[in-house]
Structure 1
Amino acid sequence: MSTEDTSGSKSSGSPSALVSLLYLFAFLGFVFLVAAAGGAVTATSVGDWYQTLIKPPLTPAPWVFPVVWNFLYFLMAISAWLIWRTTGSFDRSGLPLAIFGAQLSLNLAWSILFFGLRNPLLAAVEIVFLDLAVLGTVAVFARYSRLAALLLLPYLAWALFATYLNMGIVVLNR
């Protein structure tokens, strides 16, 4: 029979069901807090300035973006939680979660650069780093949990598509 230590983890190293559920909600809350911050910045320009830009072919209808992004943020949170749950602690999941945090920060930074500062060129440079960070997150997560890595593949695909859209806007709006 396993006993629980003060951290709420079983002595085997895996978190208890209650602690695991609480951390799931914490990961969801954190990721969606970052999403809300990005959404708030995006809202400052999406209804006016963004509408004046010439957009590349394959640009989705405006309603697609919030639907896709909310789904992707959900997958990101579940993926990060799986890493924490697989390792059983933040000590053992520090590197992958730090890389995850870096890509999430770059995700927010892109919204600030593109929509907040209305600077598609600077955002285009930054999004390349975002793409690399997401790819790095997938690679590192795969060492801990194949499922966690797989859950990030739609995000990687969308980030690469967003790179195409961003680069297209830069080229078409010179």
Structure 2
Amino acid sequence: MNHIHWPAGFIPGFADNFASNEVIVAGLSAADIWPLLSHPHRWPGYYPNSANVTIAEGHGPELANGVRFYFETFGFPVQAQCNEFTAPGNGQPGRIAWHGWAGEGDTRLDVHHAWLIEDLSEGRVRILTQETQQGKPAEALATARPNPMINGHQDWLEGLVQAARSAVGA
């Protein structure tokens, strides 16, 4: 299976916090998942922990490499820039990743949030989301129990799958 591409400074194990969530489901394809994930305005419809999405003027509704956007999640107002965007196809997985940031000084949080969507054999799709974080807020999130990042991202995955199943009538 494929893996996430990590930029310098955000490699798991060396970051202040790391979350990894994955689902593999039958009856859906990467093509079913992709439009729900690549269009951030759709996120609040299936993931209630995202809100107030805006994309930089002149861009969208789909993300693309270099495009800046804004959304709110986990109580943080996040400025973000997409730094990986490859639609699935020709046997290659779909990839979306962004660098997001919020706060200043001791409240500064920097994240690399990445998604990998790949078709598997027998009509299955794998959806992997991983996030590394740097900063004092990340240190606090890493020790919180239950882990809000793991739980929140699992909600995102489950909402994404449910929305895709509804869209294709599965």
- Would the TM-score normalized by the shorter structure come out above 0.5? no
**Which structure: greater helix fraction?**
1
**Which structure: greater strand fraction?**
2
